[in-house]
Chain A
Amino acid sequence: MSNPLSASKWNHATAAHLLNRAGFGGPPHEIRKLAELGLDKAVDQLVEYEQFPDETARPDWAKPDPERVERFQKLRSASAEQRRELQREEQRRQRERIFELRQWWLKRMAGGPRPLQEKLALFWHGHFATSMQKVRDAYLMWLQNETFRRYASGNWLTMLTAISKDPAMLIWLDQAQSRKEHPNENFAREVMELFALGEGHYTEKDVTEAARALTGWSYDRFTQEYVNRPRLHDSGNKTFLGRSGFLTGNDVLEQIVAHPQAGRFIVAKLWGYFASDNAPQGLIDDFTSVFRKNGNEFKPLLKAMFRSEAFYSDSVIRSQVKSPVQWLVSSVRMLEAELPPPMLSSNALRLLGQDLFAPPNVKGWDGGLAWITTNNLLNRYNLAALLVTGENLVAMGPGGPNGAMRRPRFNNVRRIAGLSIDRILTEDQRRNKDALIRALEERLLQAKLRDKQEKALRDYLDAQGDLDDSDILHAIRLLMSTPEFQLT
């Protein structure tokens, strides 16, 4: 099952699938290039992404802010009036930065040289789900995002250690406030339950012992960095997952990663993210042994997954519901379009249920079928118009249930630049309806349309008579407003 795909089955469709899952898809010419490489080289090119320099500059505010603490201190001595003003100003600053940060990341996904690295960063963001709502510092959210990126395909223990000392995480799960007199169990519990083992593989006693061992790992709000505070550390004897001694935080993480369940847990979650939720038991076992044999390194595991026959099976291809981020970024990529401006992208993702840097809770996004409800399916359909014709048909700003706006707008953004048809379709494809249908199904679905869909599209085109660009734009929007477009 985990055996590699035979060379004869490597073709345009399987290459498109690889690019959709290991990245955010792409236009036909990119898929063709990948297909020409052959399976092994295509996988290597995606996984060995360090060979491609990524020179994305950090947002200019993404650095420690020594005045931040000063501002908070000023807050304390300020009058009620001033205090409100200062708080409002701080909130505004952070909100603007988060909008900027979202766009900064979306741009990396949509146009960066390392699609798999960004796809993994998105995986880790959902896995170690941390929200701006509690962290309230865009710089720390950026810092965590960079940590996800840096260790995205490295070693599991290295990642787990880095994230355990990550300032946003220290705040998010209250580790920063944990001290030997009152060990806070929040992080200690979640690191096992949600991050590395899953329920049922540790005891309540393990939670309290881990919390004791982790005391001292803290956050310095002046430097905005992790700090080890030995005076807060409980240096006593502990027993954790069968090991006893004067255990520290590092011992706890080592012990967790060594646990027999740890490999299976993260391997199954990665397979669920990249391939499918229903993996046969034997398959996860196979991949887990690849992961363990390679010293808990992710790269060899990812290569094995992306080369496996199972990854390209009929039950996997075109069976995954696109996440809102996947929907947005892959649409932009396949249409060779621009991302909408920051506020619009951000609000679109919020409407669709995936607010980057603000997951609903520490468990992250449910994903899968849960992305699709009646209302966010309609939102997907209507936001497709924004990407294609550039027309904003969805009220995102303050409105209210009785808003009289028939043509709603957001921040006066009613229309952005739509697609340029001549960039993605040849003259012949724009005139010849058969050629157009073939071109659109390849570009939008990377698969054949079902007969009844093809017929409906055909009827639409026929009803328009001679096609102009606007008819074609509406046809693209129609194809994006279908159940099948939501799958990849």
Chain B
Amino acid sequence: MKQRIELKTRREFLQTSVLGASLAWTVPSFLAQTFSALHAQAVDSATPSATGRDSEILVVLQMAGGNDGLNTLVPFANDHYFRARPRLGLPVNTVLKLNDELGFHPGLSAFKDLFDSGHLSIIQGVGYPNPNRSHFRSTEIWQTASDANKFEKHGWIGRYFDSACKGAEPTVGVNIGRQTPQAFASSKPVGVSLDNPENYRFASSDQPEEGETAASEPFFRKLNRPAAPLEMDGASSVNAGASIGSLTGRASVGGSPLDYLERVALDAQVSSDKILGLSRSVANKATYPVSPLANSLKLVARLIGGGLPTRIFYVSQGGYDTHTNQVGAHERLLKDLGDSVKAFISDLKAQGNFQRVLMMTFSEFGRRVAENANGGTDHGAAAPLFVLGDKVKAGLLGKQPSLDPADLANGDLKFTTDFRSVYAGILERWLKTDSAPVLGRKFERLECV
């Protein structure tokens, strides 16, 4: 008895919901429902939505805590560096040299390989005017792309979704983590956050055995299905369905909060089925280190491999707030970063997806030029940022800030490239959209891709 109901409901659900989800945001829910109802009759199999299968993907990697840029990209030929860092300065012979002046921290051998193979672009001295040394505030500035004296509610990625991805499925943005980054915040919530795909679903407590369907699940699906087509008059709904194509792109969010909730509920079901399915069925094709960052990237690779129609993935790595005994901790962090990213890239290459993916790292600030008394460094300002991919302008871009004490601002490096120029470059050259609506105004574009 239970089994029979489950099958019937599930089949019905798939027929209506796949279409419902791809229509979300683009048409009034009334029409979306009509359309779903029509297709429930016509379509017998659930075909996955094709949107975005071949689109460019951006992976944003947040290095949370404030990465010490000077010990990441080391100015090993600069006396000011060693004078400011008698204990933390990295010995010249350990640095992985990129040219006569700059080299990588020894932990970043993977990045050195990527640099040599032309897949890594290093943008030097990235920051913003009137830098703020609070983690909280500076992260907010990077995430919202606002000026330091302005408070913006919405994030730059959220505004990108708003202005360039109208009508997209919620999985257009996927954050691996429990809390949605402010960068995703937008006037219409879009994007999903998950740290464990097993969690991103309706969990049933009356699941009889592993692998079996819970007794309540089919009813849950019924309860969360949009209002039945019976509520509309048949004749006109046929025409409405037929002309649906012409409505695409019109941002009309239909009606009541209940309409909205029903649509999100449907999106949640569709995307959770899809994400859970992909994360279980797609296998990683590279060997990753064991770390939370590597795990996040493994999941991203599986979702890309499975064809999730996502434009932006967001992952983070914490621990860069190295006020005390920095040496060991920083080395471990950078090694994890380099090795995880390199494995991710190998995975994408094995999938044949590398040319579709660009990665950008960022950290809320660099650290003070001078080391502190505790074998660490305090909150600073400008730092280098990495962009990785098959089509990047490889090499050192931008200008390395001066370490001359006379040129510092309160002991910090002065930025030479505004981070929003990097965003502008990526938005326009990679995501192929006008950056001004996303960033609030036009920034000089840094050509990193």
Contacts and interface: CB of A to CB of B under 8 A. Distances in A.
Interface of A: 80, 83-84, 131, 133-134, 185, 190, 194, 319-321, 350-351, 353, 360-363, 366, 368-370, 372-375, 377-378, 381-382, 385, 389, 391, 393-396, 399-403, 405-406, 408, 450, 452-453, 456-457, 459-460, 463-464, 470, 474, 477-479, 481-484, 486-487
B182 A80 contact: no
A120 B72 CA distance: 49
B441 interface: no
Contact of A487 (B257, B264, B267, B295): B257
B271 interface: yes
B232 interface: no
A323 B149 CA distance: 29
B292 A374 contact: no
10 contacts: A80-B375, A83-B374, A369-B257, A373-B191, A377-B264, A381-B202, A393-B203, A401-B295, A477-B216, A482-B265
Q: How large is the interface on B (under 10, 10 to 19, 20 to 34, 35 or more residues)?
A: 35 or more
Given A80-B324, A452-B227, A400 B257 contact: no
A389 B198 CA distance: 20
B206 A474 contact: yes
Given A373-B192, A374-B267, A481 B205 contact: no
Contacts of A353: 180
Nearest to B178: A351
Contacts of A369: 188-189, 257, 260
Given A80-B374, A83-B374, A378 B200 contact: yes
Contacts of B222: 452, 456, 459
A487 B259 CA distance: 11
A478 B299 contact: no
A368 B189 CA distance: 11
Most buried by A among B197, B203, B265: B203
Nearest to B179: A350
Contacts of B94: none
B228 to A, nearest CB: 5
Contacts of A479: 223
Contact of A372 (B195, B264, B272, B292): B264
Contacts of B296: 400-401
A374 B274 CA distance: 13
A454 to B, nearest CB: 10
Contacts of A80: 324-325, 373-375
B324 A483 contact: no
Contacts of B225: 452
Given A134-B134, A463-B2, A474 B196 contact: no
Contacts of A403: 195-196, 198
Contacts of B70: none
A122 B74 CA distance: 49
Given A463-B5, A474-B205, A408 B199 contact: yes
Contacts of A478: 216, 219-220, 223
B136 A131 contact: yes
B292 A378 contact: no
Contacts of A366: 153, 185
Contacts of B339: none
A112 B180 CA distance: 33
A402 B182 CA distance: 24
B371 to A, nearest CB: 12
Contacts of B227: 450, 452
B224 A459 contact: no
Contacts of B220: 381, 478, 481
Contact of B202 (A319, A463, A481): A481
Nearest to B201: A378
Contacts, number: 177
B257 A319 contact: yes
Contacts of A394: 199, 203
A374 B5 contact: no
A460 B216 contact: yes
A382 B198 contact: no
Which 10 A-B pairs rank lowest in CB-CB distance, beginning with the nearest? A483-B261, A393-B203, A374-B268, A80-B374, A456-B222, A460-B219, A401-B299, A373-B189, A391-B205, A402-B295
B192 A402 contact: no
B410 to A, nearest CB: 13
Most buried by B among A375, A396, A405: A375
B12 interface: no
B261 A486 contact: yes
Nearest to B260: A369
A321 B324 contact: no
A483 B224 contact: yes
Nearest to A364: B153
B103 interface: no
B193 interface: yes
A366 B186 CA distance: 10
A378 to B, nearest CB: 5
B233 interface: no
Contacts of B256: 319
Contacts of A350: 178-179
A321 B191 CA distance: 19
Contacts of A381: 202, 220
A321 B261 contact: yes
B138 to A, nearest CB: 12
Contacts of A486: 261
B201 A405 contact: no
Contacts of A372: 189, 260-261, 264
Nearest to A482: B223
Contacts of A408: 196, 198-199
A252 B265 CA distance: 48
B203 to A, nearest CB: 4
B149 to A, nearest CB: 8
Interface string B358-376: 0000000000000001110
Contacts of A382: 199, 202-203
B253 to A, nearest CB: 9
A319 B255 CA distance: 11
A385 B203 contact: yes
Nearest to A363: B153
B342 interface: no
A453 B227 CA distance: 9
B215 interface: yes
B219 A374 contact: no
A373 B182 CA distance: 14
Contact of B219 (A194, A389, A459): A459
Contacts of B258: 319, 483-484, 487
B298 interface: yes
Interface in B335-373: 373
Contacts of A474: 205-206, 215-216
B42 interface: no
Nearest to B182: A360
B123 interface: no
B140 interface: yes
A321 B200 contact: no
Contacts of A481: 202, 220, 223-224
B196 A83 contact: no
Interface in B157-191: 170, 176, 178-180, 182, 185, 188-191
Contacts of B299: 401-402
A370 B180 CA distance: 12
Contacts of A484: 258, 261
Nearest to B5: A463
Contact of A363 (B151, B205, B374): B151
Interface string B308-339: 00000000000000001100000000000000
B153 to A, nearest CB: 5
B210 A406 contact: yes
A395 B199 contact: yes
A395 B1 CA distance: 32
